[in-house]
């Protein structure tokens, strides 16, 4: 497999890592430039088409595009912080999970299963049914990526307004405190963790913040009823996955999802040359809970990139592109539409 950065460089793209958008120039209803900031240095980037893949819809917000945030009540899904635990005796950890936690006769739990997500009373939880775990999260994801003695836990959760820098800063501190509480429980109670230690934190995991209003807003009904779109440019299969409070998870798996995503949902209704992909795609909150899945974000990102490149080459807006041509190019790249 070709490493990501090799793919980027071979395409002719130039990376500007650790850079953020500071301001946007708008002329005659079009975005003409983005002012970037790196180490106190400003640099203007001019382009024909811009794609907002910031997750928070930052580029669109700076330009003044119409946006939506949170659900219909202004509430956001909880944020998480994955942490790693090293020096775990994985064989003894497996025995704990199978002898202490697996009281329902489920198939044997093994770290080689790649990932396990659990909820109290339903799936695997290292602290399921233990009185001292009353303040611990109500869900956990356990992952093993092949490193000897290392596990990753997706268990620390806080529900917060992700667009409030002060609230989010406090949440980051709280998430780290939760991780240390979980680590203390593991060391004191879980076989194989007696000599383990908390070895690192992943970047903050934000599930929901700001989305840019597009020419079309994807709905939950679109996903569940698998509506067809003439301008479909990719598909998704990840279901709505809503996280709240102490890690309470509501994953809608009542049926297999196989939905289309239209190009119109990737084009701002306010700026004809502004596209978006990833978490800030144009969608209702309940639909965005599924569209935010990594696989869906990859598919939407590729579709947006192809449409943007073709728009720049032809001197057309994304909405003016012959959709059949866009779909043909994507299918040639192996995209299922």
Predicted pLDDT at 268:
98
Q: Is the pLDDT of residue 129 over 70?
A: yes
Q: Three-class SS of residue 258? A: coil
pLDDT in tens, 243-296: 887 667 777 666 789 999 999 999 999 999 999 999 999 999 999 999 999 999
Please count the other Cβ atoms lying within 10 Å of the Cβ belonging to residue 48: 17
pLDDT in tens, 138-192: 888 899 989 999 999 998 899 999 999 999 999 999 999 999 999 999 999 999 9
CB-neighbour burial class of residue 87 (10 A; exposed 0-12, middle 13-18, buried 19+): middle
Write the CB contacts of 166 (distance below 8 Å, at least 6 apart in sequence): none
What tokens appear for 17 in the block?
């890592």
Q: Is the pLDDT of residue 298 over 60?
A: yes
pTM for the structure as a whole: 0.90
The per-residue pLDDT of the chain, averaged, comes to 92
Contact 267, 275 (CB under 8 A): yes
Helices (H) and strands (E) in the chain, counts: 8, 16
Write the CB contacts of 101 (distance below 8 Å, at least 6 apart in sequence): 109, 124, 125, 126, 128
Q: Is the pLDDT of residue 242 over 90?
A: no
Contact 240, 296 (CB under 8 A): no
CA distance 52 to 324: 24
């Amino acid at each position: 497999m070709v490493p990501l950065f090799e793919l980027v460089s071979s395409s002719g793209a130039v990376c500007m890592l650790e850079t953020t958008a500071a301001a946007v120039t708008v002329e005659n209803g079009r975005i003409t430039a983005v002012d970037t900031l790196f180490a106190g240095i400003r640099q203007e980037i001019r382009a024909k088409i811009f794609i907002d893949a910031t997750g928070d819809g930052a580029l669109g917000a700076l330009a003044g595009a119409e946006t939506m945030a949170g659900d219909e009540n202004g509430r956001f899904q909880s944020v998480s912080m994955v942490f790693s635990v090293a020096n775990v005796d994985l064989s003894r950890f497996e025995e704990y999970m199978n002898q202490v936690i697996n009281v329902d006769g489920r198939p044997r739990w093994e770290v080689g299963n790649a990932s396990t997500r659990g909820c109290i009373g339903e799936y695997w939880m290292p602290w399921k049914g233990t009185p001292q775990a009353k303040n611990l999260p109500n869900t956990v994801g356990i992952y093993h990526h092949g490193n000897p003695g290392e596990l990753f836990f997706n268990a620390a959760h806080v529900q917060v307004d992700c667009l409030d820098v002060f609230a989010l800063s406090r949440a980051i501190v709280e998430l780290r405190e939760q991780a240390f509480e979980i680590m203390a429980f593991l060391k004191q109670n879980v076989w194989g963790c007696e000599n383990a230690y908390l070895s690192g934190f992943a970047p903050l995991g934000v599930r929901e913040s700001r989305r840019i209003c597009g020419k079309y807003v994807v709905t939950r009904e679109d996903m569940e009823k698998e509506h067809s779109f003439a301008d479909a440019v990719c598909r998704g299969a990840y279901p709505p996955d809503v996280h709240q409070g102490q890690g309470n998870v509501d994953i809608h798996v009542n049926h297999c999802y196989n939905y289309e995503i239209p190009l119109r949902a990737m084009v701002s209704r306010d700026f004809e040359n502004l596209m978006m992909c990833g978490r800030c795609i144009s969608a209702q909150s309940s639909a965005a809970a599924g569209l935010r899945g990594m696989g869906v974000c990859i598919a939407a990102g590729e579709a947006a990139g192809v449409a943007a490149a073709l728009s720049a080459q032809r001197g057309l807006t994304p909405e003016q592109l012959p959709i059949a041509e866009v779909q043909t190019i994507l299918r040639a790249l192996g995209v299922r539409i």
